[in-house]
Amino acid sequence: MPTTAELLKLVNAMALVPVTLLPIINPLAGAPVFLMTAGHDPSAIRQLSRQVAINCWFVLVASLFVGTYVLELFGISLPIVRIGGGLLVAASGWRMLNHSDDDEVHAAVKRSQSAALTRAEVVKRSFFPVTFPLTTGPGTIAAAIAIGAGLPRQPVMYVASAAVSLVGAAITVAVIYLVYRNAGRLMARLGEVGTLVMTRLMAFVLLCIGIEILWTGWAELNGIGAR
């Protein structure tokens, strides 16, 4: 029977995935580009949002549970991954904070009236560029690998933590699906100014998360704060 402390760890492990990854993914910032790709056909939007969510699920799960072993194959240590991933995440947040109104997202809004894609083209583009690098880019993958590497190594706790991490990944993917599925209504409700404010707020959170991941890797590499 798991103790209260162990149950709290499991709850934290489940919450850690969406809390860490959603600011990095920032589906609201990708929604205008998603609309540009899918067009304004409700059927195409529904099809593409579902396929992107499935793609993101596989990317996140592979990063969580296989990424660490891939790193071991190439002899890359976890602290180095955290430092590199933290730099990528922080750099992404910094770029988002300093983008002008003519950045990729706003340019996509201006081009949203372009010709709609055929269904075959929508399916073909569901992975690139919508899933990668727009939704689950290098920063997301690096952060997911860091989360997976932090799972406990005791067999029972590993299985339990892996299960709740899968739930966390499902929550993350569900949010991505809901945002993309309702991208048109969200953009209309937020407006250009609201979208800009939301993007900047998420960019600041993203910058802070990147610095936190970077500091954790640096502390591990130098033995700071060892318990």
pLDDT tens digit sequence for 117-146: 565 666 677 887 788 877 887 778 888 988
Number of CB atoms found within 10 A of residue 166's CB: 17
* 17 inside domain: yes
* 227 inside domain: no
Highest mean pLDDT pick, 16-25, 164-173, 190-199? 164-173
pLDDT tens digit sequence for 97-119: 776 554 544 444 444 444 455 65
* 160 inside domain: yes
Tell me the residue length of the chain: 227
Task: Return the ∠ at Cα 185 (arms to 21 and 36), rounded to 5°.
Answer: 75
Count of helices and strands (H, E) across the chain: 10, 0
* 120 inside domain: yes
Number of structural domains in the chain: 1
Supply the mean pLDDT for the chain. Answer: 79
Domain around 36: 4-222
Does pTM top 0.85 for this prediction? no
Number of CB atoms found within 10 A of residue 102's CB: 9
Q: Residue 194 and residue 158: Cα distance in Å, rounded?
A: 41
* 213 inside domain: yes
Q: Could you give phi then psi for residue 119, rounded to 5 degrees?
A: -65, -35
* 87 inside domain: yes
* 174 inside domain: yes
* 42 inside domain: yes
**Is residue 218 within 8 Å of residue 83, measured between CB atoms?**
yes
CA dihedral 185, 186, 190, 192 (to 10 degrees): -90
**Is residue 35 within 8 Å of residue 183, measured between CB atoms?**
yes
Residues 6+ apart with CB under 8 A from 148: 63, 64, 65, 67, 68, 165
